[in-house]
Amino acid sequence: DSGVLEGDWSGDYTGGTAPTSWVGSVDILRQYHKRGGKPVKYGQCWVFSGVTTTVLRCLGIPGRSVTNFCSAHDTDVSLTTDIYFDENMEPLSSLNSDSIWNFHVWNDCWMARPDLPAGMGGWQAVDATPQETSQGTFCCGPASLTAIRSGLVYLPHDTPFIFAEVNSDKIYWQRRADGTFSQIHAEQKAVGHFISTKAVGRDEREDITELYKFTEGTEEERIAVETACRYGTKPNVYSAPTANDVTIEITLKGEEPRMGENATLTITLSNKSSKPRSTTLHSQMAVMYYTGVTKATVRKDNVPLELMGNEEKTVEWVLPYKDYQDQLLDQAALMLTVTGRVVETGQVLATQHNFRLRTPDLIITVTPPHSPISRHQSQFQSVT
């Protein structure tokens, strides 16, 4: 839409500046002015947000950049993040257009909202990254944080999209023989982690998750989610309960795996029933962009498991370096998807785990002038 910045997520930034190379908004705005209003190449979400912060403050509007980790991208206004599988529990790539970005950055700005009911003024979310169109234009917001928190997605502007970014449930669907889909599993805490901004007056992270949503799992938070979804394209998504006597979890022990080494994850199955349970876990590892979009599947595996009553079992899942060495992208991001069906009950197990490979640490030692021995040492580690 001929804005200040042109977005590019391809990894090839020929003819412009890589998004990671910008260190401030001034150069971007000067270049935009010098070029007569021609978009500057290239930006990604943090660059769009930084420029927006500068422009807001220049106009006298209080503004700040906001980072949301595990940020959902809802493409069909369902207010859920939907994952589709076929009859054999294989992912349906043609339908899996929703995604969860490792992180996404947008802005809060402070303003009155006389167009909304009382109490909706204050911090408003605006997102300058061109993701989806709103009334025919690539724009998003302003959406009241109070409305987002309470699930009042019928209030303007673009509240449903931002609600889904921070508080949508991850719903797994399986195709039946007749071509329709049934809900087989739901994850309620997969989206909207550690929503952050820079603290005022100090170089520290300030957690503002509570401004965007109630504490995960509380009655207030569940009411907000169900209220929002009633206005989405799948208003009956919460009408059917799911079985839950077997749980599955994927974890990484210690630091994230280092690039160039094997990656080991732990899959834990717990049987909450007093009766035995059996299943086969279908797992696949994919390399992905930081936006949550997968590039390629690098490993698949099937593991049969039997659990006695009230038993817990762990499985070490290893990704050899040789499987991913030729597929990595800029952010070195990977995603493990695990699914299965409990034979005795028909309960479906499904979960995903995203992680990044650590790059080598960089240690910089600064020696003060006229000092033979440095007493000042700083260590910079790879950003997670």
Contact 356, 345 (CB under 8 A): no
CA distance 127 to 158: 10
Contact 359, 332 (CB under 8 A): yes
Alpha-carbon separation of residue 343 from 171, 196, 271, 360 (angstroms): 21, 42, 13, 44
CA distance 159 to 151: 9
Tokens at residue 78, please?
């369902």
Contact 346, 174 (CB under 8 A): no
Whose CA is closest to 185, among 255, 244, 262?
244
Q: What are phi and psi of 223, to 5 degrees?
A: -65, -40
CA distance 226 to 222: 6
Coil/strand/helix, residue 184: strand
Tell me 48's DSSP state.
H
CA distance 262 to 318: 7
Catalytic residue positions, numbered: 45, 104, 127
Q: What are phi and psi of 21, to 5 degrees?
A: -90, -20
Residue corresponding to tokens 């997102």: 127
DSSP states of 247-279: EEEEE--SSPPBTTS-EEEEEEEEE-SSS-EEE
Q: E strand or H helix at 55, and its extent?
A: helix 45-58
Tokens at residue 285, please?
């590892």
Give me the helix-helix angle, 45-58 and 26-34, nearest 10°. Answer: 80
